Structure 1
Amino acid sequence: MSLVEVQIDRLVGPTHHFGGLGVGNLASKSHSGQVSNPAAAAIQGLEKMKLVASLGVPQWVLPPQQRPDWTLLRSLGFAGSDRDVLRDARDRSPELLSAASSSSAMWTANAATVTVGNDGDRWGTDVSIANLSSSLHRCIEWQQTEADLRAILPSSVRVHSPLMGGAAMRDEGAANHMRLGHVDAPEFVDVFVYGDQDPLPQNFMPRQTLASFQAIDRRHQWDRPQRSAGHAVFLKQHPRAIDAGAFHNDVVAISHHDLMIHHQFAFADNDAAMELLDRRCVEVTGRPVVRVQVADDQLTMDEAIATYLFNSQVVSVGADDAPPVMICPVQVDRSAAARGLVDRWQSEGLISRVQFVDLGQSMAGGGGPACLRLRVPMQPEDVDAMSPASRWTPELHDRLCQIIHDGYPKAVSWDELASIDFVNAAKRVRDQVAESLGCEMRS
């Protein structure tokens, strides 16, 4: 039973700005307050989607979430007309206005955790929407995310609402999850990477807890008799990685089918963790994982985070068991160490080729190619049952590019966020995008 891995990206919104809001996100902090370019950000994201679709990979598009979040602002004590709310928030707490206006939902890898289980005669897919409770600007995303994914995914895919439980159950989705197994494997190993538990990082709060992933694993097992607790491996992210700015596992590790590439300091107690993972992959899938460890003297942790090499997007092209294509940010091409590693992997047949993409606006906020997509594996007939209006096509691409060209701002600072004219224009262009994608327009 073959699986198709659908890629889902959310278009960057017209209120995209550099708010410096990301916990432990060095790029976000370093660009805080700079002038952003939402039009460029949206086009850069669309061009990546175009590349993925041109490789024969099913690509879907979600609309930007509506911003600012008026419910958040009014619940925090800002009252009066919309104009009054914006001015009051700007004057009394501009950080709250920034959070309510964030376009961070574009990093769709944080939208949900996705697993698949063998139900005997077919694969079953489970999607748990992430609560993103670590950050104010992201915890407001889940309701629109859940509605959007329920609208485009087929009814055969089980979508679960976010975990309750606040900080104890903080969950950042697929950015901290890997699925390992050959395409012909009877089952897969789910690798859940968490950051809490001793020893803790010294500089930044871990954004994923062990308890949250244990809960997600339990509920994804429910009513799937072929899937057992033995298919899950829980690995602790190295506190050194978190302190260095790897706020998610996908900043220091890549996975695709039975291939896994990771930094030497991605995981705590690395030798024992990798021995457990290697053994479990053989037990569950019947084959060893192809695992590549990058030593710190090959690529330092600082350079790994600066280039986002491990946040490259890997997709299958042609035959499922053929070497995949790796889509890297251009920062990898500009680094001798990172480019040397990619060239070696290509020469060794781990990947078939490399494509470099310019995602400068997203990278400035701390998001590379893999951050911008959610992988949803499903059976071919389930792909056919997805919403066709939101699937990337050349015609849709041209239509969205025109909307962006005509209506997206090309320069946004914090000052614009408090302008009612700017906000109204952003809503109009956001609604045009949603209408083009056949999506419900939510205020």
Structure 2
Amino acid sequence: MKSYEVNFDGLVGPTHNYGGLSYGNVASQSNSQQSSNPKEAALQGLAKMKALMEMGFQQGVLAPQERPDVAALRRLGFSGTDAQVIERAAKEAMPLLVASCSASSMWVANAATVSPSADTADCRVHFTAANLNCKYHRSIEHPTTSRVLGAMFANQQHFAHHAALPAVAQFGDEGAANHARFCREYGEAGVEFFVFGRSAFDNRFPAPQKYPARQTLEASQAVARLHGLRDEGVVYAQQNPNVIDQGVFHNDVIAVGNGEVLFYHEDAFLDTESMLAELQSKLAKVGGNFQSVCVPRSAVTVDDAVRSYLFNSQLLSRPDGSMLLIVPQECQANERVWTYLQSLTSSGGLIREVKVFDLKQSMQNGGGPACLRLRVALNETELAAVNPGVIMTPPLYGSLTAWVEKHYRDRLSETDLADPQLLLECRTALDELTQILKLGAVYPFQIN
């Protein structure tokens, strides 16, 4: 039976703005307060989806969330009509209004952790929504994320869904941004790779001093248990706390893995050699041949990696066995990074080609190609069981492009977030989107 890695990209929401909400994310903070262009952001993301579809890769789409999140504001004490809640929040606590308007759910690498059926005890694909409790604006996402994923992967014979972990610091979970999977073929048993920034209960593990470590070891272990993963099919690795303090807020800012290959920066991990040896040993037991590509700090500094998002790229397997790297335009603009990539692809190694995409709107808010997609390994039967409305096709691309052109603003500033009309625009757009994607009622305004 054939198997595939399907990339489900997050559709940028109508309230995409530069709120500078993510402490530790250099791009997010440095572009704070600039005016954004939600329409351009959504169209840039759709263009990447279309391009990958046309290259022959399986591509899907994951819907954005309702924003501003008026229900979240009500839980914080704002009352009255929806318009009055927004007005009061704008007057009394503008940062809370900005947080409730964040379109950060576009970065669906943080939506959940996914384990394919070849790895799990009950032979189903497992999803655990990420609690994202390190940042308030992201911690409010997981209830809607769970409903959307449930509508996309609804067949209980093939798919299992788990609620987010307890929303406390000890179980901080950032989803697939700190998770990768290595395998010979997507439909075969593999090794799941969980990267954590700190341990909540074991002080033997060093922690960063400047920026928070968002993923705990304990959260990663809990997800592995929920998914029924075998001990011999899991490797845990600690992210280097020094690179977290340089702006590497997720592992996917400093490393990316796919198939049998890990592409990583020299400074990405602690105890790198023992971690690589464990990956090699465990993958060999299921018939795989683990390989790694280390980018030396002498060629690309951590600062270069953070500014260019070299590692927040998509590493894709092609039919001939070679690999394609999807990178943001910022990699081409960075002389050291681009020189390295030219050398990499001309060496005849594992990664043979680089394709560049313009994702400036997302990049300015701190998310590149890898942030925008959630990878789900599916066999033919499982793919057929996915809600067909969310699988990218030329007609769906046309419908979504027309939908964005119809509903999205081409400029959004912080003051615009206080306009109650923005909420009405968002709800109108999302109500239509659920019909396009055949999701049913997944948003609070459709349910309540």
User: Which bin holds the TM-score, normalised by the shorter protein?
Assistant: over 0.9
Alignment deviations for residues 281-340 of structure 1 (CA, whole Å, 9 cap, x no partner): 33x333431101111111000000111010111223335xx1122111011112222223
Where does 1:32-431 land on structure 2 (aligned, <5 Å)? 32-118=32-118, 124-153=124-153, 154-155=155-156, 156-183=158-185, 186-197=188-199, 198-221=205-228, 227-282=229-284, 284-318=285-319, 322-347=321-346, 348-431=348-431
Tell me the alpha carbon deviations over residues 318-364 of structure 1, each in whole angstroms, 9 at most, x when there is no partner.
35xx1122111011112222223322332324124221100001101
SS of 2:227's equivalent in the other structure is: helix
Give the partner amino acid of 2:220. F
Whether the aligned pair in 2 keeps the contact of 1:61 and 1:392 (CA below 8 Å) is yes
CA displacement 1:239-270 (0-9 Å, x = unmatched): 01111111000000011100111001110132
SS at match of 2:211: coil
Q: 1:165 to 1:427 in 2, by over 3 A?
A: closer
Aligned residues between the structures: 435
1:424 offset after TM fit, Å? 1.4
CA distance 1:23–1:280, shift in 2 (3 Å) = farther
Could you tell which deviates more after superposition, 273-282 or 393-402?
A: 273-282
Task: State the alpha-carbon separation in 1 of the partners of residues 120 and 327 from structure 2.
Answer: 37
Q: Give CA deviations for 1:389-409 in whole Å, capped at 9, x if unaligned.
A: 222111121122122122211
Kept in 2: contact 1:13–1:430 (CA 8 A): no
Deviation readout 1:84-128 (Å, 9 max, x if unpaired):
111111111111101111110000000111123537999532111
Distance 1:234 1:253 in 2: 14
* C-alpha RMSD of matched pairs (Å): 1.9
Q: Which moved more, 1:270-279 or 1:324-333?
A: 270-279
1:375 partner SS:
strand
Q: Name 1:432's counterpart in structure 2.
A: 432
- Shifted more, 391-400 versus 167-176: the winner is 391-400
Contact 1:57 1:316 in 2 (8 A): no
1:9-24 superposed matches below 5 A: 9-24=9-24
Residue 362 of structure 1 aligns to a residue whose secondary structure is: helix
**Identity over aligned pairs, percent:** 38
Sort the Cα spacing of 1:120 and 1:200 in 2 relative to 1 into closer, same or farther, 3 A. closer
Whether contact under 8 Å (2:196, 2:217) holds in the other structure is yes
> Structure 2 length as normaliser, TM-score?
0.93
For residues 195 and 157 of structure 1, the distance between their equivalents in structure 2, rounded to whole angstroms, comes to 29
Helix, strand or coil for the counterpart of 1:416?
Answer: helix
Q: C-alpha distance in 2, partners of 1:355/1:123?
A: 35
Inter-partner Cα distance in structure 2 for 1:288 and 1:9: 29
Q: Secondary structure at the match of 1:371?
A: coil
Distance in 2 between the 1:425 and 1:53 partners? Answer: 29
CA distance in 2, matches of 1:55, 1:17: 31
* Deviation (angstroms), 1:275: 3.1
| SS of residue matched to 1:204 | coil
Distance 1:416 1:383 in 2: 41
Indicate if the aligned counterparts of 2:165 and 2:219 stay in contact, CA closer than 8 A: yes
- What is the aligned partner in structure 2 of residue 224 from structure 1? none
| Other structure's SS at 1:179 match | strand
SS of structure 2 residue aligned to 1:244: coil
Distance 1:263 1:384, change over 3 A: same
For the Cα contact (< 8 Å) 2:119–2:189, is it kept in 1? no
Task: Provide the C-alpha distance between the structure 2 equivalents of 1:11 and 1:397, rounded to a whole number of angstroms.
Answer: 11
The equivalent of 2:202 in structure 1 is none
CA distance in 1, matches of 2:100, 2:409: 18
Q: Which residue of 2 aligns with 1:6?
A: 6
Q: 1:350 to 1:89 in 2, by over 3 A?
A: same
1:107-152 deviations in whole A, cap 9, x for unaligned?
A: 0000111123537999532111111111111111111111111111
Structure 1 residues 421, 186: closer, same or farther in 2, change over 3 A? closer
With over 3 angstroms needed to count, the CA separation of the structure-2 counterparts of 1:144 and 1:417, relative to structure 1, is: same
- Contact 2:5/2:186 (CA < 8 Å) preserved in 1? no
Given the superposition, is the C-alpha separation of residues 72 and 439 from structure 1 closer, same or farther in structure 2, using an over 3 Å criterion? same
In structure 1, give the amino acid aligned to 2:331. Answer: V
Alignment CA distance shift 1:254-1:141 (3 Å): same
Structure 2 residue identity aligned to 1:183: E
Contact 2:240 2:270 survives alignment (8 Å)? yes
Gaps of 5+ in 2: 200-204
User: Are the aligned partners of 2:120 and 2:230 in contact in 1 as well (CA < 8 Å)?
Assistant: no
Whether the aligned pair in 2 keeps the contact of 1:201 and 1:242 (CA below 8 Å) is yes
Instruction: Name the CA shift for 1:352/1:29 in 2 (closer, same or farther; >3 Å).
Output: same
What is the DSSP-based 3-state SS (H/G/I as helix, E as strand, rest coil) of the residue aligned with 2:371? Answer: helix
Contact 1:123 1:379 in 2 (8 A): no
**Closer, same or farther: CA 403–185 of 1 in aligned 2, 3 Å:** closer
